[in-house]
Chain A
Amino acid sequence: MREKSVLKTILGVWNTKTVVVIAIGAALFGVLMNFGGITIFTNTKLTTAMIIPVIVGAMFGPVPAFVACLAGNTIADLIGGWGYWFDWSIGNGVLGFIVGLLPLYGAKINDGIFKIHHAVIYVITCVIGNAFAFGVITPLFTTLFYGGELEVTFVQSLTGGIANTLVLTIIGIPILIAFAKRNARNTNLTLEEKE
């Protein structure tokens, strides 16, 4: 089981369950984006939605995380009714991919493994991911799709990136720990209840 190839880990496991998890993850992303956040700035919220790709990534790999994020942002736009912002969807997708890399550096939440050095790597990927996704990818696509001015996107990206990093570390790490613990030994839903 150990020597799963890197490529396979990146692509993730694809079956009915993956499709459903991504779908429900994306729906939750949309819900949280609209209702579960603290607004700082338009298009920029201290949103808890970004935790979803982390969890999806932890369980299914970065590509499913990417898709969940991309679809999630599109659904958020759909619920919000503020038009479609594919530049942000793609940026979020890329961020989802990067923060969803967990299995690649050995943080196997499914098997209850999440140690301190994993947390450190995780924080680093969050910072890099945000910088790359919103510093490079989103502005790139903004100009490509909407011909928008880069300065605006940069200001937004900066706030968005900082907020995301905050959420991803402050909330993300405890949640990853909780999930890892939950999965650590869950065979025993044993029936014997001693009075």
Chain B
Amino acid sequence: MIRDITIGQYYPVDSILHRLDPRVKLIGTIIYIFSLFMFQNYYGYILAVLFLVCIIKVSQVPFRFIVRGLKAVLVLMLFTVMFNLFLTPGTEVFRMGFIKITREGIETAVLMGLRLVFLILGSSLMTFTTTPNHLTDGLESVMWPLRKIKVPVHEISMMMSIALRFIPILMEETDKIMKAQMARGADFESGGLIKRAKSLIPLLVPLFVSAFRRANDLAMAMEARCYRGGEGRTKMKPLKYATRDMLAYLVLILYVAAIFVLNSLA
């Protein structure tokens, strides 16, 4: 189960969206998320839905895969909706005992719910169509100017790629240590909260010790290969924009323009 988990839910097909430069997708996602907060009326949401549906179609990722991400935060969403529904003051439309629902409540609840759904769909679409490596490269490149204000951009992206490489290894390790302790009668499942928490110590100590041993080894191996930070480093696979990326930027500009037009409608 553990060896080959697809981190970040990357869905391997060869669509235009997959081939886009990661920088475009990152910037696009950010713009999309911002747009969700910029709408001042329902037209905006219709635009957001249309835009997202088109992009999902282009991405060739099956819809059910994308929706799966929503399940994980279903409870949170319900809560948000409930809170807004019951607790927003305003014109009353329905009352049963102490529960009352207001017009404003319904409006904000729907708004909140939609916003949350699009937020998740939008950002997970990026992870569905971009390999974690590409994402890291894109991130590094997009954040590069921040180096001027002393943000260690190179280090951050190096961290991300090492982390990605070690996730499956650490998962396997967790599994192995757990089994080794179970073979000695450890029980991770039964008992109260405190007992269960305590039972994790035999798992965690070896896990941390091994993680630090790995970190030590890896740091040494990197320095032995002349790693000394981002200074003077060349890239094996530098990012290059293609025509399709320019077109994608154009689409984004049109989308932003549409937002402003719609907002001025109301």
Contact = CB atoms under 8 A, between A and B. Distances in A.
Within the complex, are A and B direct neighbours (CB within 8 Å)? Answer: yes
Contacts of B70: 82
B115 A46 contact: no
A148 B9 contact: no
Interface in B157-178: 158-160, 162-164, 166-167, 170-171, 174
Given A21-B212, A27-B166, A152-B83, A81 B219 contact: no
Contacts of A120: none
A36 B198 CA distance: 13
A71 B8 contact: no
B219 A43 contact: no
Contacts of A170: 194, 197-198
Q: Is the interface of A mostly helix, strand, loop or mixed?
A: helix
B223 interface: yes
Nearest to A21: B215
Contacts of B79: 42, 152, 155-156
Contacts of A83: 69, 73, 119-120, 123-124
A28 B228 CA distance: 24
Contacts of A21: 212, 215, 219
Given A31-B167, A166-B193, A149 B83 contact: yes
B241 to A, nearest CB: 25
Interface in A11-34: 15-17, 19-28, 30-32
A81 B124 contact: yes
Contacts of B219: 15-17, 19-21
A132 interface: no
Interface in B137-190: 155-156, 158-160, 162-164, 166-167, 170-171, 174
B133 interface: no
A146 B115 contact: yes
Given A25-B211, A36-B200, A81-B69, A46 B167 contact: no
Given A16-B227, A51-B204, A152-B79, A24 B163 contact: yes
A178 interface: yes
A136 interface: no
A23 B156 CA distance: 9
Interface stretch (A72-80, A89-97, A99-107): A72-80
A31 B204 contact: no
A115 interface: no
Given A152-B80, A152-B83, A75 B119 contact: no
A139 B219 CA distance: 37
A17 B212 CA distance: 10
A48 B223 CA distance: 31
B54 interface: no
A154 B8 CA distance: 28
Contacts of A175: 201, 204-205, 208
A174 B201 contact: yes
Contacts of A42: 72-76, 79
19 contacts: A16-B222, A16-B223, A17-B216, A20-B222, A24-B170, A24-B218, A27-B164, A31-B174, A35-B174, A42-B79, A43-B76, A46-B193, A46-B196, A71-B163, A82-B124, A148-B80, A166-B197, A171-B197, A171-B198
